[in-house]
Amino acid sequence: MNKRIHNLIPILAAAAATALVCPRANADLIDLTTDGSGNFNITAVPFDVTLNQFNAANKNNTGPAQTVHAWILRDSSAGAPAPAPGSGIPVLRMRLTAGQRVTVNFKNMLPAGANPEGASIHWHGIELDNDSDGVAVTQDSVLSGQCYTYRFIAPRPGLFWFHSHMLPGNTLFAGMYGIIIVTDCCESGLVSSNRLPAANSTFQLALSDIQWDDRAQTNSVNNPNFGNVGKYNSASITGTVGHATVIYPPGTFQTINKWIHDCGDNESGVGTSQPGGGALCKFASGPGNSVLVNGLTPEGNAAPLAPGGTPAPLTFPVVPGQSIRLQLFNEALTRSFDLFLVNPTNNQTIPLYRIGGQGGLLDKARLEGDDAGNPNGGNDFGWVSAYAAGHISISSGVRSDAATCIPGNVAPNTTLILMASNNVTQWPLQNQGYIRNLFPIAYFKVGAGAAPAGACVTNGYPIRMLGGCHAVENITNGAAINQFIPTNQTPAHPSSANSTISLTSDKSAPSIDNLNLSPANYPAGNQLDVNYGNGTAWQVAPLATDRYAHVGDVLLLTVANGTGNMGSLAHPYHLHGFSMQPIAMVDDNGTHEFGYNEFLDTIDVYSGQSYIFSVRLDDRPKLCDLSCGSGPNNGPVLQPCTDGGCGGALGRWLYHCHIASHGVLGMMGEIIVLASGQQPMGLGQPPDTITPGVDVLATAGTGSQTVADDFLWQNPGPITHVTVWGSWLADQVDPGATFELKFWTDVPACNPMPSRPGWQAWEQMFPPGTYTFSSFYQLPPGAEKFVDPSQGSCIPPGDSIIWKYDFNLPTDSTGFYPLPGSPINWISVTAYTATNSGLRFGWKTTPLQYGWNDDSSWSSTLWGPPWSELIFPACIQNPNIGASMNQAFQLYIPGTSNCVNMPILTNCAPAGGPVVSAQPPFLTATPTGAQVTITWAGGGTLQSAPTPLGPWSVVPDSSGTPYVTSPNADKRFYRVVLP
Ligand SMILES: [Cu+2]
C-alpha cells in the first residue's frame, strides 16, 4: 500500500467542518466565445469573488466564506455572459484546433493605481510568432485602459494555458489565468471511435493557489486591505523595504509584486537582507495557502463524503467501469502538485496513465512514477521520480493529460478523491505552514448504471496507433546538430555559447550559470523591470545568460539543476516559443534515456539532475500584433513589424524557472533566434542609470562639438538603425534639434596617442521629423552631471532625464556598409540646436562593464580632429572618477530568414510524416469446455499477468494466435505486445 495516504481518513474527518459557499454549477470552466474566425475578446477586470478562508487550525480551506478582491480575465465578446458573482474565480477555457489562426483582443481594465506593471497575455507553450509571446522583451506592457491585439497560429495540439507575463506576476496570483486546449483530427478521431474518453468523460482541472489579506478576521481591526490578494505577515517586516528607497510602514499591504521587487533591491544592496534570502523574499516565493481548482476551493463545502452531505464544489459524477480522462493544468506561481486518485473506502490508489499533455498525445500511454513492485511501471528510466507509480506530477506551469477507468467493483455512492501531495522532499517551498501536505483536488462520485462506451486506458495503450495517426516525431534522429553562436562580438555584449544551461544560486539568489542579474548589472532595464508602454520593452539589454542561435538550427540543450545550496529545490524549467524533446536525464546514478518521443515546454528539474533536450528552432509565419487604436492611450507602442509567411521565429525567447520569484530574481535567460547568416550585435552600451552616468557635451557651437566611440563590426551591412541615449543640460530639451551621425575608421593607439577616429566613412544629418525621441529614464533633479570636456569640468545644474534618440539609416546603396580593413569603427554624434538657443545636448555614458575597447573621444571641431580621449573628471563625484568613458548607443543590422517554416503539427494521416498504421491487437477469449481459447489478429507476443498492473510476463507456451489454456482458480490478464 502507498504510504502517502496513511493519514487520509483523519483528513476527511477534518473536512466535515462546515462552511457554505454556493459553487458554480459543476465547477465549470467558462468557454470563451468566438466568432468562428478565431477572434476572441479578453478583458482584465477587478472582480470580487467568494472563497473559503484558510482554516489555520486544520490547515485546510473550510474556514468562513470571504470576499476576495481578485483580478480576473473575462470574456468580453458581445453577448458573452458576465462572470457570475459569488463563488470562485471564473476560469476561461479556450478551445482551438491545430493550425488555427487566432486573434485575441486584450484589454486591461484593472485600476491603474493597483496595477502599475500593467499586463499582457503569455500563451504558455504555444509555438507562436515572437511578438505575440506577451513578455517584457517582445512587447510593451498593456497599461490600465490600454488594449492590445495578439495574432498568431497555434500549430501543435496539446494542453496550454495563458496568463499575464508582465513581471513579477501578481496578476497571475490574483486570478488572471485560463486554459487552452488545442486538438487535431487525430484526437477527435480517437474520441469519436471511443478509443479515448468522450467529452462528457473528460474533466479539465485548472489548479492554482491564492492568498489574501484576511487580518480583519483575526483581530477585528477595520483593515482597508481586507480581501486584497497578496497577504503577508506584517510582524516580520522590519527595516527599509520596497523598490528603490520607498519605505513601507509595518502593516502596510503590498502586492506580491512589491515583495519580489524588494528581494531584487535587497540583492542590489538597497535593503537590509542578504541577496534574495531575506525574510521578504519568502513572501514572494512561497505558495498561497488556499489551493484553487477551477477557481474554487475544493474542500469549501460540507462533508462531501458524509451520507446526505452537500456535494463539494468539485464533484463529478461517474459510474463503475467508466473510462475517464483528466486534463490537468498547474497554473500556480510556485506550487507543485503530486496527484493521485484514491478510493477512500479501502485506501486503494487507482493508477492514472499519462496519455499526453504539453505537446499533444503520446504514442503510448505511460504509467509514471516509482514503484519497485511494478516492472512495467513508470520507473522505466531507472531514476527516482519522487512520486509514486500511477501518480501524475505537475510542477508550476506543467500540464498533463491522463486517463484511467473507474474500477468496475467500486461500490455505488463511493466518492473517489483526486488527492494532491505537497511532496516537500523535492518542493520544500511548499512546506511553509500553509495548507497541509495532503489535500483533496476533486471528487468523483460513483453512481449506478452502465458505463458509456470507451476503452480503458492502461499502461502501454497504443494511443496514436489506434487512430492511424502520425507517430510523435523524433527531431534528433538524422538531424545535423548546431551549436549556440559564440558572441565574442562587440560592443561588449554579454551572452554564452555554452550548451549547458545551469540553474544555480549565486550568493543564494536564483541565477543561471552563476551570473548575477541584479539591477546593478543591468542599468538600462532588465528582466526585473516592468515596462511602461513607451517602446522601451524591446530595447531591454540582452542578458549575460542569453544564448544566440539561427532559425532552423537543431540544438542539443542541457539543463542542469546545480542549486545545491538552495536546498534540494526542484526548478520547473520553461522555454518559450519552442518545444523541447527530452532525450535523457543524467544524475549520479548514470544516464537514463527517454524511450519515447515527446515535446515539452516546461519540465521539473530536480536538484542534481541534468536533462538533455533537442530543440529545433522552426520558423513560422509572422502575424504582427496590433495596437487597438491610435493615440497614446489606446495601446502600447508597437515594435516595427511586417506580416509574412516566415520570420515569426526570429526574436527573443525567454527561458526561466517557472517559480515566479526564482525567475524574477535571476533564474532567467533568453534564446535569441537570428535570421540565417545574421550575427549577434545587440545592444552594446546601454545608458548608465545607476551610478549614474554623465553626459558629455556634444553640441555644435560649444567647446565640445563632436563626441565619438568605437565598436567592432564583423557583419554584412548595412547598419539600419542607431539608438543614442543622452540628456539636455538642465533638462531643457530642444525638440527642433538636428543630429549629425558619422562613422569613421579606426586609428589604433600608439604611444602617447590614444586610439581615435581616422577618416570619415559615412555621414548624415537628421533634421527634426527624421528621427524619434522619447523619455527613457528619470533620476532625481540634478542627479546626473553634465561634463564639458573642453573645460574639464561639470556644468551646473546637470540634468535628470535620459532621452532615447532613434535614427533609421538608409538601407540602399547610400547606407553604411562594412569597410575593408580593420573591423573596428567609430560612431560620432553632434547636436545642432536652434541658433543662440543656448541649449546643450550631452551624450550619456555607459556603465564601466559595458564599455568596449578604447576610451571614447571628443573634439572641439565639427570635422573631427584633433581628438582627445574621455576620462571621468573629478567633478562627477562618483566612483568612476579617473575611469575610461564609453558612450551609450546601440546599432542594428538586418538579417534574412531562410523561410523554412514549422509545419502545422496535426497528427492526422496521411500527409507530412510517418504514419502508425498498424491496428492494435484485439484479444478474444472463447471458453470451450474447461479450456479458453485466446485469439487475435496479427503477430506479437502474448503476455499474461495476475493483475492489470502486472507484473507481465511472456506466456511461455504460446507461439502466437490462437492460444489455448486451461484456466485454474486464479484470475489472469492477457495482452499482446507488438515488436
Ligand atoms: Cu526555481
**Ligand 1 centroid distance, CA of 276 (Å):** 13
Helix (H), strand (E) at residue 291: strand 290-293
CB neighbours of 220 closer than 8 A, spacing ≥ 6?
Answer: none
pLDDT at 511: 83
**Ligand 1 centroid distance, CA of 666 (Å):** 10
**Ligand 1 centroid distance, CA of 903 (Å):** 32
Is the predicted pLDDT of residue 707 greater than 60, yes or no? yes
Exposed, middle or buried by CB within 10 Å (0-12, 13-18, 19+), for 410?
buried
pLDDT at 203: 95
Question: Strand pairing partners for 150?
Answer: 104
pLDDT at 967: 78
Higher pLDDT, 909 or 809: 809
Helix (H), strand (E) at residue 937: none
pLDDT at 979: 59
DSSP 588: T
**Ligand 1 centroid distance, CA of 571 (Å):** 4
| Tens digits of residue pLDDT in 380-423 | 555 667 788 899 999 999 999 999 999 999 988 888 999 998 77
Is the predicted pLDDT of residue 140 greater than 90, yes or no? no
Is the predicted pLDDT of residue 610 greater than 60, yes or no? yes
**Ligand 1 centroid distance, CA of 662 (Å):** 5
pLDDT at 719: 85
Q: How does residue 479 score in pLDDT terms, banded at 50, 70 and 90?
A: confident
> Which set of grid coordinates corresponds to residue 54?
484558510
User: In the chain, where are the structural domains located?
Assistant: 216-287, 500-668, 695-892, 924-977
**Ligand 1 centroid distance, CA of 658 (Å):** 6
Exposed, middle or buried by CB within 10 Å (0-12, 13-18, 19+), for 332?
buried
pLDDT at 267: 41
Task: Determine the average pLDDT of the residues in 857-862.
Answer: 96
Question: Strand pairing partners for 401?
Answer: 327, 356
pLDDT at 315: 87
The CA-CA-CA angle for residues 142, 147, 151, to 5°, reads 95
Higher pLDDT, 608 or 287: 608
Tell me the CA distances in angstroms from 430 to 350, 656, 837, one per residue in order. Answer: 25, 20, 63
**Ligand 1 centroid distance, CA of 581 (Å):** 21
**Ligand 1 centroid distance, CA of 222 (Å):** 37
The CA-CA-CA angle for residues 56, 62, 68, to 5°, reads 85
446 within 8 A of 345, measured Cβ to Cβ:
no
**Ligand 1 centroid distance, CA of 397 (Å):** 12
**Ligand 1 centroid distance, CA of 512 (Å):** 10
Amino acid at 499: S
- Per DSSP bridges, beta strands 348-350 and 668-674 are unpaired
**Ligand 1 centroid distance, CA of 64 (Å):** 33
**Ligand 1 centroid distance, CA of 606 (Å):** 10
pLDDT at 941: 84
Provide φ and ψ at 385, rounded to 5°.
-90, -15
Asked if omega into 797 is within 30° of 0 (cis), the reply is yes
pLDDT at 249: 43
Name the one residue in this structure whose C-alpha cell is 508550476.
Answer: 396
Q: How does residue 791 score in pLDDT terms, banded at 50, 70 and 90?
A: very high
pLDDT at 898: 42
Q: How many CB atoms lie within 10 A of CB 896?
A: 14
**Ligand 1 centroid distance, CA of 659 (Å):** 5
**Ligand 1 centroid distance, CA of 49 (Å):** 30
Point out the least confidently predicted range of 37-41, 112-116, 720-724: 112-116
pLDDT at 687: 82
CB neighbours of 43 closer than 8 A, spacing ≥ 6?
Answer: 73, 74, 76, 106, 107, 108, 109
Exposed, middle or buried by CB within 10 Å (0-12, 13-18, 19+), for 58?
middle
Sheet strands (E) in 367-411: 392-394, 399-405
Asked if omega into 718 is within 30° of 0 (cis), the reply is yes
**Ligand 1 centroid distance, CA of 608 (Å):** 13
DSSP string, 323-360: EEEEEEEE--SS--EEEEEEETTTTEEE--EEEEETTE
Tell me the CA distances in angstroms from 735 to 738, 739, 800, 804, 844, one per residue in order. Answer: 9, 11, 17, 13, 18
**Ligand 1 centroid distance, CA of 844 (Å):** 36
Distance of CA 139 to the CA centre of its chain: 14
pLDDT at 298: 84
Q: How does residue 782 score in pLDDT terms, banded at 50, 70 and 90?
A: confident
Point out the least confidently predicted range of 178-182, 629-633, 774-778: 629-633
**Ligand 1 centroid distance, CA of 570 (Å):** 6
Question: Strand pairing partners for 341?
Answer: 350, 418
**Ligand 1 centroid distance, CA of 253 (Å):** 26
Q: How does residue 5 score in pLDDT terms, banded at 50, 70 and 90?
A: very low
**Ligand 1 centroid distance, CA of 31 (Å):** 32
**Ligand 1 centroid distance, CA of 265 (Å):** 19
**Ligand 1 centroid distance, CA of 809 (Å):** 43
DSSP 706: E
**Ligand 1 centroid distance, CA of 500 (Å):** 17
From CA 139, how far away is CA 148, in angstroms rounded? 10
Which of 725-750 are b and which e, b meaning 16 or more Cβ less than 10 Å from the residue's Cβ? bbbbbbbebbeebbbbbbbbbbbeee
**Ligand 1 centroid distance, CA of 494 (Å):** 23
**Ligand 1 centroid distance, CA of 382 (Å):** 24
Q: How does residue 518 score in pLDDT terms, banded at 50, 70 and 90?
A: low
> Which set of grid coordinates corresponds to residue 340?
493521485
Task: Determine the average pLDDT of the residues in 772-779.
Answer: 84
737 within 8 A of 700, measured Cβ to Cβ:
no
> Which set of grid coordinates corresponds to residue 965?
489454456
CA nearest neighbour of 67 among 214, 247, 242, 268: 214
Task: Determine the average pLDDT of the residues in 259-286.
Answer: 45
Higher pLDDT, 287 or 372: 287
CA nearest neighbour of 881 among 890, 868, 872: 872
Is the predicted pLDDT of residue 540 greater than 70, yes or no? no
**Ligand 1 centroid distance, CA of 228 (Å):** 26
Point out the least confidently predicted range of 354-363, 687-696, 879-888: 687-696
**Ligand 1 centroid distance, CA of 488 (Å):** 29
| Tens digits of residue pLDDT in 328-366 | 999 998 889 999 999 988 999 999 999 999 999 999 999
Q: Which three-class secondary structure string do you get for 436-487?
A: CCEEEEEEEEECCCCCCCCCCCCCCCCHHHHCCCECCCCCCCCCCCECCCCC
Point out the least confidently predicted range of 65-79, 422-436, 684-698: 422-436
CB neighbours of 612 closer than 8 A, spacing ≥ 6?
Answer: 556, 557, 558, 582, 583, 584, 585, 586
Q: How does residue 321 score in pLDDT terms, banded at 50, 70 and 90?
A: very high
Task: Determine the average pLDDT of the residues in 268-285.
Answer: 42
**Ligand 1 centroid distance, CA of 532 (Å):** 27
Q: How does residue 840 score in pLDDT terms, banded at 50, 70 and 90?
A: very high
Point out the least confidently predicted range of 337-351, 413-427, 612-626, 894-908: 894-908
**Ligand 1 centroid distance, CA of 572 (Å):** 6
Q: Percent of the chain scored above 90 by pLDDT?
A: 36
75 within 8 A of 92, measured Cβ to Cβ:
yes
pLDDT at 330: 96
Task: Determine the average pLDDT of the residues in 580-588.
Answer: 89
**Ligand 1 centroid distance, CA of 599 (Å):** 21
From CA 129, how far away is CA 678, in angstroms rounded? 19
Task: Determine the average pLDDT of the residues in 910-917.
Answer: 39
pLDDT at 116: 67
Is the predicted pLDDT of residue 471 greater than 50, yes or no? yes
**Ligand 1 centroid distance, CA of 274 (Å):** 18
In the CATH scheme, what is the homologous superfamily, with its name and number, of domain 500-668? Cupredoxins -  blue copper proteins (2.60.40.420)
Is the predicted pLDDT of residue 306 greater than 70, yes or no? no
Q: Percent of the chain scored above 70 by pLDDT?
A: 76
Is the predicted pLDDT of residue 488 greater than 90, yes or no? no
From CA 339, how far away is CA 401, in angstroms rounded? 12
**Ligand 1 centroid distance, CA of 639 (Å):** 31
Half-sphere exposure of 490 (CA within 13 A, CB side): 17
Is the predicted pLDDT of residue 373 greater than 50, yes or no? no
**Ligand 1 centroid distance, CA of 667 (Å):** 7
Is the predicted pLDDT of residue 909 greater than 60, yes or no? no
> Which set of grid coordinates corresponds to residue 76?
468580453
In the sheet where 580-587 sits, what is the strand order? 509-512, 500-506, 554-561, 610-616, 580-587, 590-593
Q: How does residue 875 score in pLDDT terms, banded at 50, 70 and 90?
A: very high
| Tens digits of residue pLDDT in 226-256 | 777 764 444 433 333 333 333 344 344 445 5
**Ligand 1 centroid distance, CA of 573 (Å):** 8
Torsion 593-594-599-602 (CA) sign: negative
Find which of 661-675, 835-849, 921-935 is predicted with most confidence, using mean pLDDT: 835-849
> Which set of grid coordinates corresponds to residue 689?
542609470
Q: How does residue 196 score in pLDDT terms, banded at 50, 70 and 90?
A: very high
**Ligand 1 centroid distance, CA of 574 (Å):** 10
Question: In angstroms, what is the C-alpha Rg of the chain?
Answer: 31
**Ligand 1 centroid distance, CA of 630 (Å):** 40
pLDDT at 678: 67
**Ligand 1 centroid distance, CA of 961 (Å):** 53
From CA 129, how far away is CA 643, in angstroms rounded? 10
**Ligand 1 centroid distance, CA of 605 (Å):** 9
Task: Determine the average pLDDT of the residues in 707-726.
Answer: 83
Q: How does residue 301 score in pLDDT terms, banded at 50, 70 and 90?
A: low
Point out the least confidently predicted range of 480-494, 604-618, 654-668: 480-494
**Ligand 1 centroid distance, CA of 386 (Å):** 17
Q: How does residue 752 score in pLDDT terms, banded at 50, 70 and 90?
A: confident
- Per DSSP bridges, beta strands 590-593 and 580-587 are antiparallel
**Ligand 1 centroid distance, CA of 657 (Å):** 5
Grouping H, G, I as helix, E, B as strand and the rest as coil, residue 857 is: strand
